[in-house]
């Protein structure tokens, strides 16, 4: 049944993965789309590029010298494996690295040499070096995703792998740290790159081998307020959304 009342518009990038998956599963039975994509404005692009330039200057970053974080540094719990980092040449410490996302926001980390791999030492065809093993490995038999897809899990997995390999092969990203499928009016895969930029394509676009659109966009979903409250509290809920205008 459609729900009336106030609807909340959320940035897809700020929704927890577990909640986003739940929204997607519940919404998959609905035919109305809740997705809205907004390309960055010229002003936003200028601010983003300026922020990147300031970060590069402040930490004397060589943007052509990239490193892939390999993990196993307890002091860097927020740095995901396969993230792209740069040497901080403003510091005398050879183990100081800068994580800089696609918006120029940064964080400093002390990373032993053994925990970073120069991107230049990897080939695009070496997918395990470029893509998180959590993407490449199949999910556990008792996982929520396995239960959701059932006998269609292998199709889901193969399409996901095809998508992330396409991202690397096309130079859309240097690395991929996460990827999953969602359904909001249409089925699509979304991946997060090593600089936290987002790449998204519909299943049809992937199967038709259409070029990846690397335009930076903000993605939003409109959700009834009561539905969102129930989902966040763990209560069962239906979702009926209006197409974003």
**Each residue's pLDDT tens digit, 16-27:** 444 444 444 434
Phi, psi for 177 (deg, rounded to 5): -100, -20
Cα-based distances in Å from 81 to 18, 51, 134, 155, 173: 19, 24, 10, 26, 15
pLDDT at residue 144, rounded to an integer = 87
Give the rounded percent of residues in the chain with a pLDDT score beyond 70: 74
Residue 89, pLDDT > 50, answer: yes
- 59-76, pLDDT tens digit by residue? 999 999 999 999 999 999
- 159-215, pLDDT tens digit by residue? 999 999 999 999 999 999 999 887 765 678 989 999 999 999 988 899 899 999 988
Rounded Cα gap, residues 181 and 169, in angstroms: 20
Phi, psi for 184 (deg, rounded to 5): -135, 80
**Minimal CA–CA distance to 167: which of 207, 214, 237, 123?**
214
Q: SS3 of 10, please? A: strand
What is the distance, to the nearest Å, from the Cα of residue 38 to the centroid of all Cα atoms in its chain? Answer: 17
Whether 48 and 218 have beta carbons less than 8 Å apart is answered as no
Q: What is the DSSP letter of 131?
A: B
Rounded Cα gap, residues 202 and 206, in angstroms: 6
What are residue 192's DSSP bridge partners?
178, 198
Rounded Cα gap, residues 5 and 158, in angstroms: 40
pTM check: above 0.75: yes
Q: Exposure of 226 by Cβ count < 10 A (0-12 exposed, 13-18 middle, 19+ buried)? A: middle
Phi, psi for 218 (deg, rounded to 5): -100, 130
- Mean pLDDT for the chain overall: 82
pLDDT at residue 112, rounded to an integer = 97
Count of CB atoms within 10 A of residue 139's CB?
15
pLDDT at residue 184, rounded to an integer = 63
């Amino acid at each position: 049944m459609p729900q009336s009342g106030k609807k909340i518009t959320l940035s897809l990038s700020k929704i927890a993965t577990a909640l986003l998956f739940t929204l997607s599963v519940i919404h998959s039975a609905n035919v109305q789309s809740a997705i809205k994509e907004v390309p960055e404005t010229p002003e936003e692009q200028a601010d983003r590029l300026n922020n990147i330039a300031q970060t590069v200057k402040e930490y004397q970053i060589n943007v052509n010298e990239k490193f892939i974080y390999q993990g196993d540094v307890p002091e860097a719990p927020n740095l995901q494996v396969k993230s792209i980092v740069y040497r901080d040449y403003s510091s005398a410490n050879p183990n100081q690295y800068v994580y800089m996302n696609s918006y120029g926001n940064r964080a400093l980390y002390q990373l032993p040499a053994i925990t970073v791999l120069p991107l230049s030492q990897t080939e695009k065809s070496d997918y395990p070096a470029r893509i998180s093993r959590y993407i490449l490995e199949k999910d556990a038999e008792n996982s929520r995703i396995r239960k959701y897809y059932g006998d269609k899990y292998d199709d889901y997995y193969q399409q996901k792998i095809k998508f992330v390999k396409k991202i690397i092969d096309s130079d859309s990203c240097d690395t991929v740290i996460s990827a999953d499928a969602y359904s909001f009016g249409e089925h699509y895969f979304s991946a997060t790159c090593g600089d936290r930029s987002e790449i998204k394509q519909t299943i049809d676009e992937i199967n038709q081998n259409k070029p990846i659109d690397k335009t930076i966009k903000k993605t939003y979903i409109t959700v009834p307020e009561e539905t969102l409250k129930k989902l966040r509290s763990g209560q069962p809920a239906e979702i009926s959304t209006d197409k974003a205008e």
